[in-house]
Amino acid sequence: MDAHAIEEGRRRWQARYDAANKRDADFTTLSGDRVAPVYGPRSGDTVEGFERIGWPGEYPFTRGLYPTGYRGRTWTIRQFAGFGNAQQTNERYKMILDSGGGGLSVAFDMPTLMGRDSDDPRSLGEVGHCGVAIDSAADMEVLFSGIPLGDVTTSMTISGPAVPVFCMYLVAAERQGVDPGVLNGTLQTDIFKEYIAQKEWLFQPEPHLRLIGDLMEHCSRGIPAYKPLSVSGYHIREAGSTAAQELAYTLADGFGYVELGLSRGLDVDTFAPGLSFFFDAHVDFFEEIAKFRAARRIWARWMRDEYGATSEKAQWLRFHTQTAGVSLTAQQPYNNVVRTAVEALAAVLGGTNSLHTNALDETLALPSEQAAEIALRTQQVLMEETGVTNVADPLGGSWYVEALTDRIEADAEKIFEQIKERGRRTVPEGNHPIGPITSGILRGIEDGWFTSEIAEAAFTYQRALEKDEKKVVGVNCHTSSVTGDLEILRVSHEVEHEQVRELGRRRKERDEAAVSAALATMMEAARGDANMIEPMLDAVRAEATLGEICDALREEWGVYTEPPVF
Ligand SMILES: CC(C)(COP(=O)(O)OP(=O)(O)OC[C@H]1O[C@@H](n2cnc3c(N)ncnc32)[C@H](O)[C@@H]1OP(=O)(O)O)[C@@H](O)C(=O)NCCC(=O)NCCSC(=O)CCC(=O)O
């Protein structure tokens, strides 16, 4: 790009920066020097390929979504939390909000994630262990008691049974007297990544996609600020993928949901802002920063050029980041604080919109209160002390970071082509029921391609670790240590007994005939084409349980079984 065009861009950025709201904060260095809100090429310089880098707040958004960077608003501190019953988790949420957490993020226990009630025999021993147990709308009401749902943005990490859990959240809001139309938050919902990596699915892919389509339609019509999908690379990376695979599979999944919305006749500029993303921040500092920058650029280009998005918000890739659970070690667990800080810094320098920092004890158990506090304080140290919020995309223009960004983007584009090619093999061009990328994803799930690609990458890394080519402190180098064992959080089995008793009591008190009638109406919708959200909401209002709703759907749609791959 020639010097004149660069100067024009700088002026455009400056005008938008001047017009935007800024935080009332000190934007100087520790020594008191003023710094500019963004840096770019020297005046008069020509920079080849500068249109790929650009300025914060404009297409292709490589340098961030906002002209102000974090001067307008800092990232949301959103700590993922949940354990025991709704009452215990509610207390933890109040502690998080009181200590400066900016939003909530619900972790559900394994039975809830699998759409099973706490008294299901398969739930035995798991209730309240890796998250909070939610059986019905009454639990959701307790979970958010005293927390105004109209004011606090809440993210819920659940995909298989996301839709009935979302209905419980809407009913809890109704019971607080909050108009569901004003709710703002995020539901994970991303079923593609369940088949690809996390493996917590319920139904066959096609009916499940129809249910997600119903959810997208419902939200885009009536809950405009809510993000019904958090397209997740985190679990793909944690399963052992490379950074480029994480990026490419996740963005491809995102394209799949765009194709789903378009196939339902929804307007891309209306529904696309409801697609949000979720990435891992692993320990290779610069590669991660490059990944986040490439993610924004690829998404903006595909949304504009492939899917016809014209509004900026529909081209924006907004993302939450979690530091890499898989990088934490049980050996010398205090080192995990350092890893988490470095990973969190990479997320921030990559422009994350929301962040969770892992607790040092998470390889051993759910975080203790002290470990959760250190994790939260890690973000606060970055935000308040280090000066990283002063300048937007401070690494933009670094030869290394720009080259890495380009390389990861090129690798991702190659993977998109492979996915499309798999789709072409299944369905002839022009006949895709949802879209070409979706056909490729479904084929890749069906024939185990994603799983084996990830397994291959995981194996390559593990071999490198075992040959000492890659190092992990405390594991294959610097192993001697004076630190002792950590106190870890143990969730008592009494929680399970209490939850089962409470569920039994609620079942006795509800109007059985109303529950059966509401479930029957919901199943009629499931068998036809009508949007299922309203009838599901009625079932939830009648206190139908999560297990009852999911079992009815499992019966109709069939349970997914993964094909064996050797
Ligand atoms: C979009 C995100 C990513 C973030 O939403 P947030 O509400 O926190 O932030 P946001 O939308 O970026 O910002 C809030 C509002 O401020 C505006 N805003 C932000 N920065 C601004 C700036 N500089 N200038 C002007 N406006 C700005 C935004 O446009 C938005 O307004 P408007 O709305 O008006 O635009 C959302 O989807 C989210 O919260 N995701 C979290 C997902 C999550 O928690 N997942 C946990 C998974 S945990 C898991 O899976 C477990 C893994 C394990 O196994 O451990």
For residue 260, which phi and psi values (nearest 5 degrees)?
A: -65, -50
Residue nearest atom 31 of ligand 1, based on CA coordinates: 225
The verdict on the CB of residue 318 being under 6 Å from ligand 1 is yes
Amino acid at 562: E
Q: Do 169 and 233 belong to one domain?
A: yes
Beta pairing partners, 103 = 78
Backbone CA torsion sign across 247, 562, 194, 434? positive
pLDDT for 72: 98
In 414-451, which positions are buried (b, 16+ CB within 10 angstroms) versus exposed (e)? ebbeebbebbeeebeeeebebbbbbbbbbbbbeeebbb
Q: Is residue 472 part of a domain?
A: no
Q: Do 118 and 235 belong to one domain?
A: yes
Mutation choice for ligand 1 from 16, 61, 73, CB with most ligand atoms inside 8 A: 73
Q: Do 444 and 362 belong to one domain?
A: yes
Q: How far is the CA of 319 from the centre of ligand 1 (A)?
A: 6
Q: Do 149 and 241 belong to one domain?
A: yes
Q: Which range of residues forms the domain containing residue 512?
A: 495-557
The verdict on the CB of residue 68 being under 6 Å from ligand 1 is yes
Q: Do 513 and 443 belong to one domain?
A: no
Residue nearest atom 12 of ligand 1, based on CA coordinates: 353
Q: Is residue 487 part of a domain?
A: no
Q: Which DSSP state fits 144? A: T
Tell which residue, 259, 297, 329, 263, has the closest CA to residue 476.
329
pLDDT for 425: 87
Q: Do 404 and 525 belong to one domain?
A: no
Q: Do 190 and 276 belong to one domain?
A: yes
Residue 368 · residue 95 · CB < 8 Å: no
Q: Is residue 205 part of a domain?
A: yes
pLDDT for 558: 95
Q: Is residue 513 part of a domain?
A: yes
**Residue at which a domain ends, from 416, 448, 467:** 467
Q: Is residue 540 part of a domain?
A: yes
Residue 276 · residue 299 · CB < 8 Å: no
**Residue at which a domain ends, from 451, 467, 483:** 467
pLDDT for 431: 83
**Residue at which a domain ends, from 447, 467, 487:** 467
Task: Report how far residue 431's alpha carbon sits from residue 368's, in angstroms, rounded to the nearest whole number.
Answer: 53
Q: How far is the CA of 70 from the centre of ligand 1 (A)?
A: 13
Backbone CA torsion sign across 391, 394, 396, 398? positive
Q: Is residue 69 part of a domain?
A: no
Residue 236 · residue 197 · CB < 8 Å: yes
pLDDT for 216: 98
Task: Report how far residue 165's alpha carbon sits from residue 156's, in angstroms, rounded to the nearest whole number.
Answer: 9
Q: How far is the CA of 503 from the centre of ligand 1 (A)?
A: 34
Residue 339 · residue 295 · CB < 8 Å: no
Contacts for 331 with CB less than 8 Å, ≥ 6 apart: 474, 475, 479, 481
Q: What is the CATH number of the domain that holds 405?
A: 3.20.20.240
Contacts for 493 with CB less than 8 Å, ≥ 6 apart: 125
ipTM of the complex: 0.98
The verdict on the CB of residue 320 being under 6 Å from ligand 1 is yes
293: left (phi over 0), alpha (psi -120 to 50) or beta: alpha
pLDDT for 489: 84
Q: Do 416 and 328 belong to one domain?
A: yes
The pLDDT profile of the chain, 566 residues, written as one tens digit per residue, is: 999 999 999 999 999 999 999 999 999 999 999 999 999 999 999 999 999 999 999 999 999 999 999 999 999 999 889 999 999 999 999 988 998 877 899 999 999 999 999 999 999 999 999 999 999 999 999 999 999 999 999 999 999 999 999 999 999 999 999 999 999 999 999 999 999 999 999 999 999 999 999 999 999 999 999 999 999 999 999 999 999 999 999 999 999 999 999 999 999 999 999 999 999 999 999 999 999 999 999 999 999 999 999 999 999 999 999 999 999 999 999 999 999 999 999 999 999 999 999 999 999 988 998 999 999 999 999 999 999 999 999 999 999 999 999 999 999 999 999 999 999 888 887 788 899 999 999 999 999 999 999 999 999 999 999 999 999 999 999 999 988 788 888 888 899 999 999 999 999 999 999 999 999 999 999 999 999 999 999 999 999 999 999 999 999 999 999 988 76
Q: How far is the CA of 477 from the centre of ligand 1 (A)?
A: 38
Residue 372, both tokens: 């959760």
- Using CA atoms, how far residue 381 sits from 35, 334, 385, in Å, is 20, 17, 5
Q: What domain count does the chain have?
A: 2
Task: Report how far residue 547's alpha carbon sits from residue 123's, in angstroms, rounded to the nearest whole number.
Answer: 11
pLDDT for 185: 97
pLDDT for 555: 97
Residue nearest atom 40 of ligand 1, based on CA coordinates: 320
pLDDT for 295: 98
Task: Report how far residue 444's alpha carbon sits from residue 451's, in angstroms, rounded to the nearest whole number.
Answer: 9
Q: Do 82 and 138 belong to one domain?
A: yes
